[in-house]
Amino acid sequence: MNHSDELKKEFQKKFLCQDKFAQEIESLVQNEPEHNYISAIVHYCESNGLDVESISKLITKPLKEKLRCDAIELNFLKQSSKAKLPI
């Protein structure tokens, strides 16, 4: 492993990046059945002293799609005309 890779890993340990944030949210959803993606993000932000509005840049495309599916299921968003694949 070169110095650049080591530096990148250390940076990711100390600072929240998209991949780490997505992993944390996925872990919450999988390990705590009371959480969907929306509540997992809110819970994570509350537990770590983050403002929910400040994490928008940490949300990956796959996570955004899962949030959209949750919002549709909870009637927060209207069902789109696009076909929805079962998850």
User: Do the domain assignments include residue 30?
Assistant: yes
User: Which residues, other chains included, contact 42 with Cβ-Cβ below 8 Å and sequence gap of 6+?
Assistant: 52
Query: Using one digit for the tens of pLDDT, what is the confidence trace for 5-21?
Result: 776 666 566 677 899 99
User: Do the domain assignments include residue 58?
Assistant: yes
User: Do the domain assignments include residue 32?
Assistant: yes
Query: Using one digit for the tens of pLDDT, what is the confidence trace for 23-69?
Result: 999 999 999 999 999 999 999 999 989 899 999 999 999 999 999 99
User: Do the domain assignments include residue 51?
Assistant: yes
CB 23 within 8 A of CB 29: no
Q: What is the pLDDT of residue 78?
A: 82
Q: What is the pTM of this model?
A: 0.74
User: Do the domain assignments include residue 29?
Assistant: yes
More confident residue, 74 or 8: 74
The range of the structural domain enclosing residue 40 comes to 3-73
Our count of domains for the chain comes to 1
